[in-house]
C-alpha cells in the first residue's frame, strides 16, 4: 500500500512521488533530518510509488490525449487519489511541496524520449504543479563517490550497455565511500529491534540520541542512553559494539555528530553535482561562482544532452549525475554555506 493513502487529511504536507522504497527509507529521510531548515517533517510526507511512464499515462487519462500541449494546470494529488479510488479526494493546494524523483533508466522497456522530456519540461516547480528530479542513470548516483575528494566524478559515466539496473547498483556498492554511513541509522535500528526487541518509539529516541553524540562524548554518555536495554551487562556489550561501529566511520576522528557529518557529506555531494551539471550542460567555464553555476542549471537541457549521448545502443553512455540533491539549494542555496 502506498503511504499516500494512509495519512490524515490536513494542509501543509509534502508529496513525494518516487519509483521505489529506497528513496523513502534512506535518502530523503536522511536529507530532511540533516537539513531541518527545509521545514519538511518526514511524518508529514506522503509517499506515492509509481513509474514515470505510468504517471504520464495516469495524467493523460485524467486530462486527455493533448494534456502536454494544452498548457493545463495539472493537479497530481487529484490524479493519484482518483487512481487509488480514495473515498476523499486530495488536491494540490493541500501540499506545500510536490517532489517527483525518478531514474533515467534508458533500458526501461517503456522508455520514451518524448514522454520523459515533456515531464521534465512541465514539472518545474515543487511549490506549484511539482518539480521533477531525474537521476542518471539511477537514484544510486548520489552514492557514486570514491572519496570526499573525487575529481574523477566530473568525468564519471557508464556505458549504455550496462544493464539491468542491478549491475549499476552493485558497481556503486563496491565503489561508494559513504554507503556504510548512509546505512548506519538503519543498522542501529535493526540491532535494537532484532537483538534487544525494543519497541519502535523507544528505538527512534535511542537512535536520535546516539546519532547526536559527538565522538568524544560516546564513552561518557552512551551508558545512560543504553539503559533502555534494561540489562547492565547487555548495555555494556552494546556500548562497545556501537563505539566500534562508529570508529569505522569517517566522522569519528573529527569530533562531529553523525548528523553534522552527513550534513557536510550532502553539501559536498551537491557541490560536485552542480559542477557536473554545468559540464554536461556546457555552462561557460568563465562562470566560477557556485551560485551562478547553480542558477545556470537547466534540467531540461541536461536531459536533452543525456538523451543525445546515450542514443547509440553500442557506444552510447550516460553521465553519472544526481539531481534530486538539488532540492537542498532549490529551497535555500545558503544551506550549502
Give per-residue pLDDT as tens, 9-62.
555 789 999 987 666 667 999 999 999 999 998 889 999 999 999 999 999 999
What pLDDT does 83 receive? 83
Give yes or no: residues 125 and 215 share one domain.
no
Q: What is the pLDDT of residue 29?
A: 92
Helix axes 232-247, 218-225, angle to 10 degrees: 140
Question: Rounded to an integer, what is the distance from CA 51 to the centroid of its chain?
Answer: 16
Shared domain for 86 and 218, answered yes or no, is no
Query: Within this chain, do residues 223 and 159 fall inside the same structural domain, yes or no?
Result: no
The upper half-sphere exposure of residue 234, i.e. CA atoms within 13 Å in the direction of its Cβ, equals 11
Q: What angle do CA 200, 206, 212 make, to 5 degrees?
A: 135
Q: Is residue 121 part of a domain?
A: yes
**Are 17 and 34 part of one and the same domain?**
yes
142 lies in the same domain as 29? yes
Strands 124-125 and 130-136, sheet pairing: antiparallel
Q: How far is CA 235 from CA 115, 192, 196, 283, in A?
A: 55, 11, 10, 55
Question: Closest Cα to residue 196, out of 235, 225, 224, 229?
Answer: 229
Does 257 reside within a domain? no
Same domain, 126 and 54: yes
Residue 260 lies in a domain: no
User: Shortest CA distance to 115 belongs to which of 125, 130, 105, 126?
Assistant: 105
Separation of alpha carbons 161 and 158, rounded Å: 8
What is the reported pTM? Answer: 0.92
C-alpha span between 78 and 253 (Å, rounded): 49
- Contacts (Cβ under 8 Å, ≥6 apart) of 31: 38, 266, 325, 327, 328
Question: Does residue 59 sit in the same domain as residue 172?
Answer: yes
Structural domain including 200 reads 179-249
Q: Which residues of 283-306 are buried (b: 16+ CB within 10 A; e: fewer)?
A: beeeeeebeebbeebebebbbebb
Q: Are 103 and 200 members of one domain?
A: no
Q: What is the pLDDT of residue 1?
A: 43
Of the residues 230, 249, 268, the one at which a domain ends: 249
Q: Three-state DSSP class for 265? A: helix
pLDDT at 216: 87
Q: What are phi and psi of 305, to 5 degrees?
A: -65, -40
Domain assignment present for residue 291? The answer is: no
CA-nearest of 51, 173, 169, 167 to 108 is 51
Domain termination residue (choose one: 249, 279, 309):
249
Cell of 75: 493537479
Q: What local confidence, expressed as pLDDT, does residue 9 receive?
A: 52
Q: Residue 328 falls within a domain, yes or no?
A: yes
Residues of the chain with pLDDT under 50: 1, 6
- What is the torsion angle, in degrees rounded to the nearest 10, for the CA atoms of residue 1, residue 326, residue 178 and residue 304? 90
Cβ neighbours around 309 below 10 Å, total: 15
Q: Is 279 a domain residue?
A: no
In contact, 274 and 286? CB cutoff 8 Å: no
Residue 332, pLDDT score: 95
Do 216 and 328 fall into the same domain?
no
**183 and 136 in a common domain:** no
The answer to whether residue 283 sits within a structural domain is no
Number of domains in the chain: 2
CA quadruple 174, 258, 17, 136: dihedral positive or negative?
A: negative
Q: Which of 212, 227, 249 is the last residue of a domain?
A: 249
Amino acid at each position: 500500500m502506498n503511504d499516500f493513502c494512509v495519512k490524515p487529511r490536513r494542509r501543509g504536507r509534502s508529496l513525494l512521488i518516487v519509483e521505489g522504497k529506497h528513496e523513502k527509507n534512506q535518502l530523503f529521510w536522511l536529507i530532511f533530518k540533516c537539513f531541518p531548515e527545509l521545514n519538511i517533517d518526514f511524518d508529514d510526507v506522503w509517499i506515492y510509488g509509481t513509474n514515470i511512464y505510468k504517471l504520464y499515462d495516469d495524467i493523460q487519462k485524467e486530462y486527455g490525449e493533448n494534456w502536454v500541449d494544452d498548457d493545463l494546470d495539472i493537479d497530481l494529488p487529484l490524479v493519484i487519489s482518483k487512481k487509488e479510488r480514495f473515498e476523499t479526494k486530495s488536491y494540490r493546494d493541500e501540499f506545500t511541496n510536490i517532489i517527483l524523483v525518478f531514474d533515467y533508466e534508458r533500458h526501461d522497456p517503456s522508455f520514451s524520449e518524448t514522454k520523459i522530456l515533456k515531464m521534465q519540461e512541465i514539472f518545474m516547480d515543487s511549490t506549484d504543479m511539482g518539480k521533477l528530479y531525474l537521476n542518471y542513470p539511477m537514484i544510486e548516483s548520489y552514492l557514486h563517490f570514491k572519496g570526499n575528494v573525487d575529481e574523477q566524478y566530473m568525468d564519471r559515466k557508464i556505458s549504455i550497455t550496462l544493464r539491468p539496473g542491478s549491475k549499476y547498483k552493485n558497481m556503486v556498492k563496491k565503489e561508494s565511500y559513504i554507503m556504510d554511513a548512509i546505512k548506519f541509522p538503519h543498522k542501529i535500528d535493526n540491532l535494537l529491534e532484532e537483538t534487544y526487541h525494543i519497541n519502535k518509539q523507544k528505538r527512534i529516541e535511542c537512535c536520535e540520541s546516539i546519532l547526536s553524540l559527538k565522538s568524544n562524548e560516546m564513552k561518557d554518555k552512551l551508558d545512560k542512553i543504553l539503559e533502555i536495554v534494561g540489562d547492565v551487562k547487555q548495555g555494556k556489550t552494546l556500548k562497545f559494539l556501537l563505539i566500534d561501529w562508529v570508529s569505522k566511520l569517517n566522522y569519528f576522528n573529527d569530533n562531529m555528530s553523525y548528523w553534522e557529518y552527513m550534513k557536510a557529506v550532502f553539501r559536498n555531494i551537491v557541490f560536485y553535482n552542480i559542477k557536473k551539471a554545468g559540464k554536461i550542460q556546457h555552462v561557460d567555464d568563465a562562470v566560477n561562482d557556485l551560485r551562478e553555476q547553480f542558477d545556470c542549471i537547466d534540467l531540461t537541457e541536461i536531459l536533452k544532452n543525456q538523451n543525445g549521448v546515450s542514443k547509440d545502443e553500442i557506444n552510447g553512455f550516460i553521465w553519472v549525475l544526481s539531481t534530486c540533491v538539488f532540492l537542498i539549494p532549490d529551497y535555500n542555496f545558503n544551506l550549502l554555506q
